[in-house]
Structure 1
Amino acid sequence: MADGEENLTISMVLGWDLAVPGKVAEHVDESAKKLKQELFDADDQVQKSEPWFGEQAGLSARTISKGYRTDGETTAGVYAAMSKAIQEGCESIGKKIQTVRDLISDVENSDYDLFYEENGAVKSRESNWETAAPPWGIVSLYLKQGEINKLDLKLKTALWEVAQEDERVAERVSQCIEKLADSVKTEMAGDYTDQGLLDILRKYQTKDSTKDGVMWPNATQLEYVRKYYDPTFQPKFVTAEEAAVLNELSLVEQVKFLTIQKDAKAFGQSNKYTDQDEDAEQDGHGDAARHMYWNARMTQEFGEDWAERYTTAHEKSGGNVAAREAMDLYNNKLGRAIGLDKTADDATIRARVLDEIDNGKAVVIVSGADGKTPQLAWSKDTSVHSTITGPGVGIPLPGTM
């Protein structure tokens, strides 16, 4: 319901119309039932064909039909699971939004003329001099500050819980796609004539996380990050596995990690490829540069094993587009190889990354023969202007990592 890069505000969550996703859930559930019935009817006709087609050809047709029905019913089950996840998500998010509303009411009905800001901070319109006036004096000031602190913490926590639940619901819906039959996933991956690219597509896929994602960093880590990295830093929703690997780092190392991540993002946004076409930043040559540089720096700082475990965990979100997952994981590996040279300075790393991309060792994403399916392509053989940005969620391939 919210953009993953955008921090939630009070006005934003109060403006959500949960009836809209509720309607979507109803339509998805209706589609599941319709698909299941159509599969049954079609297969039923084929299975009844034995009086007319009793030989080997008929048996083969009935066997194939049964397989199609099984895979189709699995797809219908995915639709039904998605519908349920959306419905339950609307209910859970709705309850958390109601908590925000109740706390806002407490703020507005306070005796100390309190108000709230969009980030959940609670303040008073009364000056301390006004509050400390007779007859209660300094006692009133202590009472006011105590109420401000209490409501401030509660409202910020309630807003944070809405943000976390919103991300969790989106991830649960995406995870439903992972339950599609492997035959369906493979069929949707696109057509490849280059065996090397097909091998990369199949090999560089992660197994989806089976746990709920979490907000990282936690409260203690966040305090340190805001003090020594960025006072405006906001927690991000990550996979449970990703958080576990990040938590292996010390607080000092976590700040270093965020600094490297920031540097990599800047490099991905501004390089010779994005100078030619700004869209190269997403799933193109610029994106390859970001991933390779990021992994090289992390390998230098934290070691190859940690960098590999972290970046693999980073890709475990549900419904990750198969070509994008393979692109990122493969280019990550190229970057880690560069980072094994501990003596390479920042300029050397950047130069080696660009050289790898120019020499065709990296992969990017282009449109498949059907004009829609994202497919891998070698960076050297692909114009910067030919890459595409894949959809946010897509049909994954079976995980191998």
Structure 2
Amino acid sequence: MAGDEKNLTISMVLAWDLGQPIKIAELVSLSAKKLKQGLADSDDQVQKSEPWFGEQAGLTARTRSKGYRTDGETTAGVYVAISKAIEDGCASIGKKIDAVRDLISEVESSDYDLFYDDDGSVKSRESNWETAAPPWGIVSLYLKTGEINKLDLRLKTALWEVAQEDERVAERVSECIEKLADSVKTEIAGSPTDQGLLDILRKYQTPDSTKPGVMWPNATQLEYVRKYYDPTFQPRFVTAEEAAVLNELSLGEQVKFLKIQMAAKDFGQNNKYTAEYPNAEQDGKGDAARHMYWNARMTQEFGADWTERYTTAHEKTGGNVAAREAMDLYNNHLGRDIGQNKNTDDATLRAQVLDTIDNGKAVVIVAGPDGKSPQLAWSRDTPTDKTIVGPGVGIPLPATK
């Protein structure tokens, strides 16, 4: 629902029209019925062909038709699952938004003239001097402070629960896509003509997480992160595997991790490639630079094994575009190789990353033969401004890592 990585606000969630995704769910369900019926009609005709087409070629055609029908019915089942995930998700999100509305009413009906900010903070228009005036004095101030703190926590928690449920619904929809037949995944993903790129596309895939995603860091970690890294830091929705690997780090190491992540993000946005072509930071050479530098720095700090386990867990989101998953995992591998020397200074590390991209060892994403589908390409063969930004969700390939 949110559509981006910004923190949700009360005004944002109250403006959501849940009727729109429900309409989409209905259309998806209808498409599943049409697809299943069309497959049945077509296959029935092929299976009846034996009287006039009974040789080996006919048997092969009937066998293949049956396989197409099976895979197609699996796809129809995925459509149904997506429709249900959207409908159930809208219902659960709707209940959590109602909880936010109820708390807003409670805030606005308070005797202490309370109001809320868009981030869920609760405050009073009445000054403490006014509240502490006779006849109740300090007792009234104590009661007001207690009510503000209680409602502030409850409203922020309710808003956080909307954000978490929104992420979980998106995760459930993406999980449905993972259930497509492998033959369908492979056909849709396409195949690069370059054997090296084809090997990368097939090898660098990881399975979707089978566990519910979680918000990270937890309350204790968040307090430490806000104290020693960023007082405005907000929890993030991550895969369960990603959280587990992060929790192997000490609190101090988690702060180092976040600082490395921010430095990598800045490097991905501000480099010679993005200076030439701003979109290079997404699926282009700037994106490759970010992943390689990020992995190199983490390898220096936490070791190659931990870094590989973390960055692989990071890619376990459902419905990840096959070309993007391969690009990220492969460029991560290049970065870990660069970071093996713990004594390499930061400037040299950045230069080695850029040199690797310029020498064509990294991979980026370009438009396929149809002019739209994302496809892998070598960085040496691709002008910086010829990369494309792939879709947010796509058809994954069978996992190998």
Tell me the TM-score normalised to structure 1 length.
0.99
Would you say 1:349 and 2:368 are equivalent positions?
Answer: no
Would you say 1:272 and 2:294 are equivalent positions?
Answer: no
Distance 1:33 1:298 in 2: 49
Deviation at 1:324, TM superposition (A): 0.5
Please name the residue that 1:70 is paired with: 70
Residue 236 of structure 2 aligns to which amino acid in structure 1? K
Please name the residue that 1:339 is paired with: 339
User: What CA deviation, in whole Å up to 9, does each residue of 1:39-68 have, x standing for no partner?
Assistant: 011111111111221222211111010000
Distance 1:188 1:265 in 2: 31
Residue 247 of structure 1 aligns to which amino acid in structure 2? N
Distance 1:86 1:140 in 2: 47
Distance 2:398 2:138 in 1: 66
User: What CA deviation, in whole Å up to 9, does each residue of 1:254-304 have, x standing for no partner?
Assistant: 110000000001111111111111111111111101000000000000000
User: What CA deviation, in whole Å up to 9, does each residue of 1:188-214 have, x standing for no partner?
Assistant: 112321100000000000011011111
Please name the residue that 2:321 is paired with: 321
- Residue pair 1:277, 1:384 contacting (<8 A) in 2 also: yes
Distance 2:261 2:187 in 1: 35
- Residue pair 1:191, 1:369 contacting (<8 A) in 2 also: no
Distance 1:368 1:3 in 2: 26
Distance 1:238 1:176 in 2: 18
Deviation at 1:113, TM superposition (A): 0.6
Residue 48 of structure 1 aligns to which amino acid in structure 2? K
Please name the residue that 1:49 is paired with: 49
Task: Please list every run of 5 or more consecutive structure 1 residues that lacks an aligned counterpart in the other structure.
Answer: none
Distance 2:220 2:68 in 1: 52
Residues 72-87 of structure 1 aligned to structure 2 (within 5 Å): 72-87=72-87
- Structure 1 residue ranges, 4+ long, deviating more than 3 angstroms after superposition: none
Please name the residue that 1:160 is paired with: 160
Deviation at 1:181, TM superposition (A): 0.4
Deviation at 1:307, TM superposition (A): 0.2
Distance 2:51 2:39 in 1: 21
Please name the residue that 2:246 is paired with: 246
Please name the residue that 1:139 is paired with: 139
Please name the residue that 1:109 is paired with: 109
- Residue pair 1:296, 1:337 contacting (<8 A) in 2 also: yes
- Residue pair 1:175, 1:319 contacting (<8 A) in 2 also: yes
User: What CA deviation, in whole Å up to 9, does each residue of 1:164-190 have, x standing for no partner?
Assistant: 000010111011110000000000112
Please name the residue that 1:19 is paired with: 19
User: What CA deviation, in whole Å up to 9, does each residue of 1:299-339 have, x standing for no partner?
Assistant: 00000000000000000000000000000000000000011
Specify the SS of the correspondent of 1:377.
strand
Specify the SS of the correspondent of 1:205.
coil
Residue 277 of structure 1 aligns to which amino acid in structure 2? Y
- What is the aligned-residue RMSD (CA, Å)? 0.7
- Residue pair 1:191, 1:368 contacting (<8 A) in 2 also: no
| Seq. identity, % | 82
Residues 169-180 of structure 1 aligned to structure 2 (within 5 Å): 169-180=169-180
User: What CA deviation, in whole Å up to 9, does each residue of 1:124-182 have, x standing for no partner?
Assistant: 11111111111111111111111111111000000000000000101110111100000
Please name the residue that 2:257 is paired with: 257
Please name the residue that 2:148 is paired with: 148
